[in-house]
Amino acid sequence: MPARNPAEIDTLFVNALNAGDLDALIALYEPQAALMPSPGKLVNGTAAIRDALAGFLAAKPSMSLSARTLAQAGDTALVSATWQLSLTGSDGKPATMSGTSVEVLRRQPDGRWLFAIDFPFGAAATA
């Protein structure tokens, strides 16, 4: 099911992430989208996003979030989500993370909303 309004995309993201569905995650991004998978690292394009998210899914993450649309101008929207995540750390021990994202979405010709820019760690994280 595609996002038919900007607020839906984060729900689709968390559902796909929690299900471990890499293809459903990638389907939420424009072909040339940018993702910051970790603070200080920026990847562009769905191939690089797939690699980053595949590694992340290996940690068996479980996420919850609360999203809101901050602004919309025509076919572009600015969205933010406060999220909490638990996963298995690289040392094999449980770990938790949290943050507030900044996301730029674009409505596609078919009406779907997709990520153009996804900064899960927010504006304070620099690339």
Angstrom CA distances, 105 to 51, 87, 95, stand at 21, 27, 29
* DSSP 8-state assignment for residue 21: -
Phi, psi of 35 (to 5 degrees): -135, 135
For residues 60 and 20, give the distance between their C-alpha atoms in angstroms, rounded to a whole number.
Answer: 7
Query: Could you give all domains of the chain from N- to C-terminal order, each with its CATH number?
Result: 8-119 (3.10.450.50)
Q: Is the model's pLDDT at 125 over the cut of 80?
A: no
- pLDDT digit string, tens, across residues 72-111: 999 999 999 999 999 887 788 898 989 999 999 999 999 9
Amino acid at site 97: M
- Return all residues near 112 (Cβ < 8 A) that are at least 6 apart: 2, 3, 4
Q: Are 6 and 105 in contact (CB under 8 A)?
A: yes
Q: Is 48 helix (H, G, I), strand (E, B) or coil?
A: helix
- pLDDT digit string, tens, across residues 107-119: 999 999 999 999 9
- pLDDT digit string, tens, across residues 22-62: 999 999 999 999 999 988 899 999 999 999 999 889 888 99
* Torsion over CA: 57, 43, 83, 91 (sign): positive
